[in-house]
Structure 1
Amino acid sequence: MDGHVATLTLNRPAKLNAVTPPMSAALVDAVHWCDHTPDIRVIVVTGAGERSFSVGSDIRELDRYATPWDFRNRTDYCDAIRAARTPTIAAVNGYALGGGLETALSCDIRLAADTASFGAPEITLGWIGGGGMTAFLSRAAGPSNAAWLVMTGERIDAARALEWHLVSEVVAPSRLLDRARELAATIASRAPIAAETAKINLRAAHSLPEDKALEYERDLQTICFATEDAAEGRRAFAEKRPPVFHRR
């Protein structure tokens, strides 16, 4: 934790940060802890080492599930990241494949090293992703590009990921984590209730009809406007000084 920013690192570099069931459970717990720690305002998710963000679930662990139904109802780290109240930033430092791509897609903002690559290789093994791959990939990259990735199993590089709007920015590997933390610090300096509300509103905007999305946005704006932080923002503007927000 650095100031108001927590960094969660997938730490199994020798296996390209492939996620085991204990790692999944630990990530779920870590996200939950961040959400319930008032000082944390932004979460950065990244991978250990220089080669990989994450290649998703460790395939050798999948046969440990007694039945397909047990596999269906497993603890899912992507679900936890998407459900986080706290804004999230993915710092994609290498391979983002399968569940690793889903992990990145589950974050609100994605930055990538110029050495990163992205792919949905599950089809080469006989199945498809189940952690939000099609839903979130098609929203980010568009239906045709999503189909290209999901149906071929082939990878794209960071430049194409930027072109396809999978990521917001591509930087040198040596700058990636610093850049992610700079962005996180900027968000953390804003009113935290407003930032969390913006996250809720952005997610809702994808699933609500336009008239309902506008109505919901107005309601959320009203809630934010009634906070002490909003009053502080107005005072600071009038007094020509930076605001100091307290999550109230």
Structure 2
Amino acid sequence: MGCTTAFGQGDNKAADIVAKAVQDLGGDRYLNVKSQLGRGHYSVLKKGGVISFQAFSDAIVFPEKERTEFKGGGSHTVQVNTGDTGWIFDGDQEIIKNQNANQVAGFKQGIRTSLDNLLRGYWKGQADLSYVGRRQASLGKRNDVVRLTYKDGFAVEFEFAADDGTPQKALYTRHDVNGGDIKEEDHYAQFVDVDGVKLPFIIDRFTDGVQSSRINYDSIEINKSIPESVFAKPASVKDAKKDIKM
């Protein structure tokens, strides 16, 4: 992934690229999004084929509250995170359990690598923003690349179309259980205007260069009131199975 960096370009250049992307997505309207309700389908891919296909609904109160519900193939799963805590409803086993430290860390990693985290500045005070350079995207196209480097050394790069600033992808490396490196990329596509805010309705995940999943939104609503009860751990399996009205 070769880059070219002009001498003297740095933090100001990176900030300009981020600001350009924010304007492309709606400016202040984008920055003022406080919550998001999404519905769509989630696919897991392996060896070029779909091995799992489920409907999902997602309720987010930025920056660190999220409830995601999956249904399909007779399966029902709910995952909820609120900062340092979280719980999961496993419909196959009909149990509710608290998330362990690794699961919570995985959620926080997802925030760190998210486009919203970068563009809305939730990272400030936790990471440094820098300009990497320009990277070949496709024939005749190049992307501007910026990097967030967190205090613990973890880094994530974001690519934006050099011409209009549209977000293209996020790239980072994570470790597997054996300590090996795994390269992850999230590719953003099909931007749709939602109340004056452009949002990607398709997010493709590539793991070590091979597509591993797709998030495909059917609908997204922004700045809807989401009650705190949506994130509360249910008292029973029966309660966990109930449809949440939002």
- Whether TM exceeds 0.5 here: the answer is no
Greater share of strand: 2
The structure in which a higher percent of residues are helix is: 1
Task: Name which structure has the greater RCO, CA cutoff 8 Å, separation 6+.
Answer: 2
Task: Specify the TM-score bucket, using the shorter chain as the normaliser.
Answer: under 0.3
